[in-house]
Structures are given as C-alpha cells and as structure tokens.
Structure 1
Amino acid sequence: MTLLSLRGVRKSYGANVVLHDFSLDVAQGECVVLIGASGSGKSTLLRCVNLLEVVDDGVVELAGRDITDPRVNADQVRSGIGFVFQSYNLFPHLTVLDNITLAPIRVHGVAPPEARRRALAMLTRVGLAEKATAKPDELSGGQQQRAAIARAMVNNPQLLLLDEVTSALDPELVGEVLDLLRDLKREGMTMLVCTHEMSFAREVADRVCFLHQGRPLEIGPPAQVLDNPQEPRTREFLSRLRS
C-alpha cells in the first residue's frame, strides 16, 4: 500500500527552481533514503511534504488524500507526520517533557494529563525517561536528537521525516541516534530520510533516491544505487563522499 505519493511536484524561490517535476511513491512501512549534494532539493522536499512550504505545481498525497489542496487544514495533516530537524529545534527554556507535550496540548487539543502520559511513554521508548525534567542544554547532542525524535513520534504519526539528523552530532554520538532509527524501521515506521550516512542507508533503507538539481535521478535498492550506480552523476557524488 502506498502511503506517500508525490506527483510532478515543483517548487521554486523566485527564478531558482529547487524541485523539478518530482515524483516518488513511498509504501507503508518503507524507509526511503534521500541522498545528494547540498542544494539538490532534499530538505525542500521534506518541507513540502510537511506543508511547511507550498508547492508551485503537482500533488502530494498522504494515505490517498491530496494534502496540497489549499482547503486542507495543515495542522491536522501535520499531526499525522513527524518531522525531525537536523538542529533539534528544542525550546531551551522548557524541560524535555514540556518540549514534547507543547504541540499535543497547544495545537492538537490533547488534555495535559494524557499528553504527559504519552510523552513519558515515548521518552521511555527512546531511553530518556530519567531526563524528563532536564533542560535541553543539560543533554548531550545525541540525547537532544533522541528527544526531538520522541517529540516527532508522540502523536503516533503515519510518516516520519528526518532531515540530516546526525549532521550536527559528534561522531561518537551518531550511533545512538542511528540505532533508534533502526529500531523504528523494525517496528514498521514509514520514513523518508535525508542523510549522508551511507552505512545507515545501506543497512536500513529499502530504497535510495539520488537527487540531482531537484530531480530524482536514480532510485533503487541500496546495493544498486550505492554499489553499482547507473548514472554518472550518482557515481561522481559517491566518489566524492569516499575521497
């Protein structure tokens, strides 16, 4: 079953076209990893799916519903999508627990006791139950990113979007975040992931999509795209990563 479908999506900023006629289907429970150089459109694509950007043309469907229809309630759509940013985006003056309960209470109308129950359950799931009353600056980078993932997961989303979630981490902290994503994949979470971690893509992705100048230039299983790419641009990009 297709959960997410993009058809002919186009997005530009003035004369700069960032996404060109972009089409991609993501099945329920599938992990699709987006790779490509900076400026290739990966982050913009995630922001369009989460309705943080308005597409200029094309359609984005989630579970068969056209979420790019201007009549759609964007907050309602986002309640079914988890978005994890590369820079955590935790509020520094709030505790970890308050960071996670803020949107369910303020945006989605969840009663505070229920929001706290869900948040504590999610913090336990990501191994941060003992940090519920801590402030973000009392956590390591890996712990902050796991808290951000807990915040994205607290509403039991249909789809999880992750934008370079290890890029701001020290190398020794990357593993703990990737381990959590592996667990989510095993549990059947549908994920669209931007990353430069090729080992993660190789191990966890069902498919890898290489973006070049806003187009999905090559899509296929990790073994094909990463080890035997057909497109010269893909080979060039991967060779730069290895050098």
Structure 2
Amino acid sequence: MSLLTIEGVWKDFGDHSVLRGIDLEVRPHEVVSLIGASGSGKSTLLRCVNLLETVDDGAIHLDGQEITDPRVNVDGVRKRLGMVFQAFNLFPHMSVLDNITLAPRQVHKVARERAEEHAMELLGRFGLADKARAYPDQLSGGQQQRVAIIRALATGPRLMLLDEVTSALDPELVTEVIALIKELKESGMTMIVTTHEMSICRDISDTVCFLDDGVLLEKGPPEQIFTEPEHDRTRSFLRSVLGSGRL
C-alpha cells in the first residue's frame, strides 16, 4: 500500500496552472526526487502535500486518508509530516535544543525531559551534540540546515518533505547535508526531495520525477532517467544541468 497517493492534482494561481494533473505514488521507505527547472511546480507540489496550499482539483491521500478533504484536521495531518525549507527557519532567539524540542513539547505534548533526551539522541547521531546550547547565528549554514532537518525528525514524521535544502548553502557545506539525507534513507525514512543537486538524485533516489511546466513529464529509477530519458525535454534539462557531454 502506498504511504502517499497524489491523484490528478491541479493548482492554479490566477490564470496560471502551476500543477496540471499530477499523479504520483510514494511507497513506505521510498525516496522520490523531484527535478525540473525553476517554476516547474516542484515546491508547490510539496506545499500542497503539507496543506500549505489548497488544491483546485484532484486529491491527496496519506495513509489512505484523503487529506485534501476540506473537513480534514490540518494540524493532525501536519503532525505526521516533517517539512524542511530552503531557508532554515530556525527561531533565532532559541537555542538549538529549544528549537528542536518546541514542536514535540507544544504540539505533541511530550514532556520536556523526554523531548530533550530524544533531541540529544538525534544531535549525537548527526554529529551536533556539542551545539545543543548554541544559537542559530553561532552555526554555519550547513549546521543550521542539519538542525532544521533534525527538528523535523524530532516529531517522528511518517513522511519527510525536503524543499531545496542545499540551495542556500555554499558548495563546501552541501556535502554534510547530503550525508545526513543519505543516512535518513539508510534508516528507512520516506522522503520527497526537490533539488537541483543531481548527485542527491543519483545517490539516494528510488524514483526520480521530472516536472516541466506543471506536468509530471517522466518518472523512473535514476539510472534510467539519467542515462536513457524518454522525453527530449527531460534530455534537454539534464544536459543543461550536467553538461552536454553527460547524456
């Protein structure tokens, strides 16, 4: 059974259709990468899954429940999702530990001691235990993004949504974030990732989806998408990001 099912989803902004009939299934423990040019609809699709945007047609199911039903408990749905944005969105006036434990304590009603214990376990797992009492402005960009991912993990999500999480980083900081994402995959976390980093797609994806002007034009395993794409538009995009000699 699919963990997430997207069926015929359309999203309009005024007269412009940003998503046009998207169909996609995500199985438990699967990593799906969304690639495509800026404005192709990748981030909007994630925002629809997280109910930050309402769909204009179609439906999205999470664990068999239609979460796009207007009667759904939005907060209840978001408790099962972890979303990390391009901007780190950490609270600057809170320590790393307080940033991570805020949602478990306030939303999930976890006792402070247990929330902090779990946060320290996650920080230790990802090599940031010594930063627990630091504030965001005392961290590098890569460390801030890793903390943002850990914060999303701390609530025990069924599905992680990662939206261009390396694009705001200097190149030398990208590697440490990619390493964290790889470890999440190895642990069995289900993820949808939007990215311009083709190395992420190659290394961690089970399925790569190419979006073009709001249409899911092509999907398949990374070895097929990157070596033998079916559509000329996919081939053209990959040549633009990988170099003309790579396809």
Shift in Å, 1:14:
1.1
Query: 3-state DSSP class of the match of 1:239?
Result: helix
Matched, 1:34 2:58: no
Query: 3-state DSSP class of the match of 1:134?
Result: coil
Distance 1:146 1:31 in 2: 18
After the TM superposition, which of the residue ranges 114-123 and 209-218 deviates more from structure 2? 114-123
Q: TM-score, normalised by structure 1?
A: 0.97
CA RMSD of aligned residues (A): 1.0
Distance 1:57 1:124 in 2: 43
Structure 1 counterpart of 2:62: 62
Structure 2 counterpart of 1:151: 151
Q: Give the aligned residue type for 1:222.
A: P
Shift in Å, 1:36:
0.1
Between Structure 1 and Structure 2, how many residues are aligned? Answer: 243
Structure 1 counterpart of 2:99: 99
Gap regions ≥5 residues in structure 1: none
The C-alpha deviation readout for 1:141-200, integer Å capped at 9, x for no partner, is 111011001001001111010011110111111111111111110111101000111122
After the TM superposition, which of the residue ranges 103-112 and 212-221 deviates more from structure 2? 103-112
Matched, 1:142 2:142: yes
Gap regions ≥5 residues in structure 2: none
Q: TM-score, normalised by structure 2?
A: 0.96
Matched, 1:177 2:177: yes
Query: 3-state DSSP class of the match of 2:23?
Result: strand
Q: Give the aligned residue type for 1:197.
A: E
Map 1:202-213 → 2, pairs under 5 A: 202-213=202-213
Q: Give the aligned residue type for 1:18.
A: V
Query: 3-state DSSP class of the match of 2:162?
Result: strand
Structure 2 counterpart of 1:229: 229
Query: 3-state DSSP class of the match of 1:2?
Result: coil
Distance 1:67 1:118 in 2: 29
Shift in Å, 1:108:
2.6
Distance 1:123 1:55 in 2: 36
Contact 1:33 1:209 in 2 (8 A): yes
Q: Give the aligned residue type for 1:206.
A: D
Shift in Å, 1:119:
1.6
Structure 1 counterpart of 2:112: 112
Contact 1:7 1:23 in 2 (8 A): yes
Taking only the aligned residue pairs, the percentage that are identical comes to: 60
Contact 1:145 1:165 in 2 (8 A): yes
Query: 3-state DSSP class of the match of 2:52?
Result: coil
Shift in Å, 1:15:
1.0
Distance 1:242 1:121 in 2: 38
